[in-house]
Chains A and B, each alone.
Chain A
Amino acid sequence: AQSVTQLDSQVPVFEEAPVELRCNYSSSVSVYLFWYVQYPNQGLQLLLKYLSGSTLVESINGFEAEFNKSQTSFHLRKPSVHISDTAEYFCAVSEGGATNKLIFGTGTLLAVQP
């Protein structure tokens, strides 16, 4: 069965510093991978996705994630964070099929400090 692991429950970082949020998954078949972001008191929003093709995917606000099949990872990175990036970030995986069910990780709180 597929599962998603986000080992870091919280990542504190200073403004303008780089950050990496880690995501590992387990699955025996091809997967689709997603990062969702949840700003305070809001619902989740899709940040970026990997479906096929280039293993490096980017969002419009400077985040990127790289699909690494051998490491079964989909880490999220940003070279320079802003205060406004403070949010909880969820990694999710699906295996396609009839229901294409999304399995979410437990989330990582990115806390950007001035």
Chain B
Amino acid sequence: EAQVTQNPRYLITVTGKKLTVTCSQNMNHEYMSWYRQDPGLGLRQIYYSMNVEVTDKGDVPEGYKVSRKEKRNFPLILESPSPNQTSLYFCASSLLWQGAPTGELFFGEGSRLTVL
């Protein structure tokens, strides 16, 4: 089954304690992206990757890091989480068409993070 898998689905942590949210896709997609979803703000892009070792900032990258060492994995790293990073996080992937993502994104089920 084609899917994007995120872990953990739920996490409560404390300020400053480093954490990683993993994302893995089994569709051989080149493009992967992280979003955060907050009430009244919709989805905002954090980071994206066009292929292995190619990553770039989205609209709200502050406080986050990513890496793309393998095509299927795109972990999101919070080096020193703060309460304003409490949110629902989604990983998504898509194929590229003529070098650009198609716009047809496949989303994971989300990771709800609470930072106390």
Nearest residue (CB) in B for A105 is: B42
Interface membership of A104, Cβ < 8 A? yes
Taken together as a complex, chains A and B put the C-alpha atoms of A100 and B104 apart, in Å, by 11
Q: Chain A's nearest CB lies how many Å from the CB of B40? A: 6
- The prevalent SS among residues of B at the interface is strand
Known: A105-B42, A106-B40. A34 touches B103 (CB 8 A): yes
**Residues of chain A at interface, number, CB under 8 A:** 26
Q: Are A42 and B104 in contact (CB under 8 A)?
A: no
Query: Which chain A positions have C-beta within 8 A of B43?
Result: 44, 90, 104
Q: Are B109 and A100 in contact (CB under 8 A)?
A: no
Q: Are B105 and A99 in contact (CB under 8 A)?
A: no
Taken together as a complex, chains A and B put the C-alpha atoms of A20 and B24 apart, in Å, by 36
Interface membership of B114, Cβ < 8 A? no
Contact with B along A46-88 (1 / 0, CB 8 A): 1001010000000000000000000000000000000000000
Taken together as a complex, chains A and B put the C-alpha atoms of A110 and B99 apart, in Å, by 35
Q: Are A90 and B103 in contact (CB under 8 A)?
A: no
Nearest residue (CB) in A for B40 is: A106
11 inter-chain pairs at a CB distance below 8 angstroms, sorted by A residue, are A41-B109, A41-B110, A43-B4, A46-B105, A49-B103, A49-B104, A90-B43, A96-B100, A99-B100, A99-B101, A102-B45
The 8 closest A-B pairs by CB, nearest first: A43-B107, A100-B100, A106-B42, A104-B43, A104-B42, A44-B107, A43-B109, A100-B101
